[in-house]
Amino acid sequence: MSWSVDARPEAPPDWAAFARAHGSFYHEPAWAHALRDAFGFRTTFLTARDARGALGGILPLAEVRSLLGRRRLVSLP
């Protein structure tokens, strides 16, 4: 089976339902948006889809700065 991976700044429409079925509140777009709005993090939503386009995995990420000012991607929560 082949998979495709996509990264985008906003969650695709089918993300929230997948998060509710397979993850937790911390995987929902609302949580990433709350962190973005509160702390100014840039968010990235990674998705994995099978050859038919069905969503098979999600990974919400936030770009944060370390104490030394370097940027890194951190998975949520």
Residue 43: predicted pLDDT:
92
pLDDT tens, position by position, 2-51: 789 999 999 999 999 999 999 888 999 999 999 899 999 999 999 999 99
Say how many C-beta atoms besides its own lie within 10 A of residue 38's C-beta. Answer: 8
pLDDT at 77 over 90: no
65: confidence class by pLDDT, cuts 50, 70, 90: confident
- Token duo for residue 14: 């089918």
- Cα–Cα distance for residue pair 36/30, rounded to 1 Å: 10
The pTM of this model reads 0.85
